[in-house]
């Protein structure tokens, strides 16, 4: 049985699942769908066509589904889709998609969004990601699974963040960050592999294979795409092939500073 405060505003037409809890002073739009077991804390607002899966925790004053912050938006039907078991902390802001980006912002499952995180229009987030306080994603950003973004870090529109990538706090990201890599700085550059994250989820032999691939890609002095093509031809590792495919398909480039003789 759901527990909905009489002080919450639930528009006629909203779909509320079993065992949902909605605290006082919340707002839920008529087009919203709230999945089983989800909790919505005091003052949170669910606008527009927003679908929220099962067992999410939505904290006080989160705003989900308000219209895109895009001057081209002209009232089209757009959507925000959120998976299961996410923790969405205080004062977060998730915008739906836009017509030009396919109309949908999509969030996976088992993610943690800390306070003041912003997801812009047409963003896609995988599963098991962590976005620390005040991380801000512009429109059309894509994040793979198990990616981590440090606090106070803005991500430029159309940037891709690969699976298991980690971005240090107070960085500024304007180019694509490949899978398994660690980046930091303003502007952020690749510093190495995200070994701490990899050791939690990936076998030692696979990490050693990635270390070898990283040296070939980033320390050989050869062009990235040339090295990635050569690695694809000789490697059977799923992890290496994922890394190389990402590099070969980047549109914004990879932020990496090659060492010069003066650095040695």
Has 83 been annotated as catalytic?
no
Spot the catalytic one: 108, 139, 168, 197. Answer: 139
Cβ neighbours of residue 49 closer than 8 Å, sequence gap 6 or more: 29, 31, 32, 65, 77, 78, 79, 80, 96
Give the CA distances from residue 39 to residues 101, 113, 192, 198, in Å, rounded to whole numbers and listed in that order. Answer: 30, 15, 39, 32
Among 95, 89, 82, smallest CA distance to 133 is for 89
37 is annotated as an active-site residue: no
Q: Which residues pair with 34 in a beta bridge?
A: 16, 52
Residue 239, phi-psi category: left (phi > 0), alpha (psi -120 to 50), beta (remainder): alpha
Q: Which of 61, 121, 128, 140 is catalytic?
A: 121
70, 84, 122, 176: the catalytic one is 122
Per-residue DSSP letter, 213: H
Q: Is 101 a catalytic residue?
A: no
Active site residues: 121-122, 139
């Amino acid at each position: 049985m759901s527990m909905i405060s009489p002080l919450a505003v639930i528009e006629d037409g909203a779909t509320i699942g079993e065992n949902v809890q909605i605290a006082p002073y919340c707002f839920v739009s008529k087009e919203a769908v709230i999945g089983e077991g989800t909790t919505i804390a005091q003052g949170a607002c669910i606008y527009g066509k927003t679908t929220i899966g099962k067992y999410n925790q939505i904290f006080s004053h989160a705003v989900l589904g308000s219209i895109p912050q895009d001057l081209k938006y002209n009232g089209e039907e757009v959507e925000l889709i959120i998976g299961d078991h996410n923790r969405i902390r205080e004062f977060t802001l998730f915008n739906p998609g836009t017509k030009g980006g396919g109309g949908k912002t999509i969030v996976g499952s088992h993610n943690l969004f800390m306070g003041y995180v912003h997801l812009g229009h047409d963003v896609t987030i995988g599963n098991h990601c962590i976005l620390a306080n005040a991380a801000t994603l512009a429109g059309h950003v894509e994040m793979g699974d198990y990616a981590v973004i440090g606090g106070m870090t803005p991500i430029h529109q159309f940037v891709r963040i690969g699976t298991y990538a980690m971005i240090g706090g107070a960085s500024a990201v304007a180019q694509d960050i490949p899978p398994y890599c660690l980046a930091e700085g303003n502007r952020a550059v690749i510093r190495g592999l995200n070994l701490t994250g990899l050791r939690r989820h990936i076998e030692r032999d696979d990490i050693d294979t990635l270390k070898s691939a990283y040296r070939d890609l980033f320390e050989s002095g050869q062009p990235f795409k040339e090295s990635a093509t050569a690695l694809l031809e000789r490697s059977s590792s799923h992890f290496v092939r994922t890394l190389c495919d990402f590099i070969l398909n980047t549109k914004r480039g990879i932020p990496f500073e090659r060492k010069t003789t003066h650095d040695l």
